[in-house]
C-alpha cells in the first residue's frame, strides 16, 4: 500500500509591506492605514479623525523634540502624540522610499 506524503508548505512572501506603527513612519513617505489598535475611547477618537482602514496618510513634520508628530490625512493636518500614533498600524505605499 502506498502512503501519500503531505506536500511541504512553502511560505509565500506577502506582496504588501509589513505593517509598521504610525509613529515609525518616516517623513514624506505615503502610507495606508491598516488598523487602529484597541476599542477604547482613544481608538474611537482616532477613527473619528479619519484614521480608518484604507485611508491615505503621510507624516509631514514633528515638533523640535519629536512629540507631537504632524500628519496629512483626509485632506487636513492632524497632530498626534507618539503614544497615540503607536495605536495605528500602517503600510507604506508600494514604490515609496522607506
Q: Are strands 30-36 and 56-62 parallel, antiparallel or unpaired?
A: antiparallel
DSSP the chain: -PPPPPPPPPPPPPSSPPPEEGGGPPBT-EEEEEEE--SSHHHHHHHHTT--TT-EEEEEEE-TTS-SEEEEETTEEEEE-HHHHTTEEEEEPTTS--
- The CATH class of the 22-92 domain is mainly beta
CA within 13 Å, CB half, 25: 35
User: Per residue in 23-60, pLDDT tens?
Assistant: 999 999 999 999 999 999 999 999 999 999 999 999 99
Q: Measured between alpha carbons, how far is 85 from 88 in angstroms, rounded to an integer?
A: 6
pTM comes to 0.77
| 37 in Cβ contact with 43 (< 8 Å) | yes
Q: pLDDT tens across 70-87, in order?
A: 999 988 999 999 999 999
Rounded to whole angstroms, how far apart are CA atoms 52 and 73?
A: 10
Comparing 93 with 46, the larger pLDDT belongs to: 46
Give the domain ranges of the chain: 22-92
The pLDDT value recorded for residue 36 is 96
State residue 98's pLDDT score. Answer: 47
Amino acid at each position: 500500500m502506498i502512503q501519500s506524503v503531505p506536500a511541504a508548505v512553502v511560505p509565500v512572501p506577502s506582496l504588501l509591506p509589513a505593517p509598521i506603527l504610525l509613529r515609525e513612519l518616516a517623513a514624506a513617505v505615503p502610507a495606508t492605514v491598516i488598523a487602529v489598535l484597541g476599542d477604547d475611547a482613544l481608538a474611537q477618537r482616532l477613527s473619528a479623525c479619519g484614521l480608518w482602514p484604507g485611508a491615505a496618510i503621510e507624516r509631514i513634520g514633528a515638533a523640535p523634540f519629536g512629540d507631537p508628530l504632524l500628519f496629512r490625512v483626509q485632506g487636513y493636518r492632524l497632530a498626534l502624540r507618539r503614544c497615540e500614533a503607536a495605536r495605528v498600524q500602517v503600510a507604506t505605499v508600494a514604490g515609496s522610499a522607506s
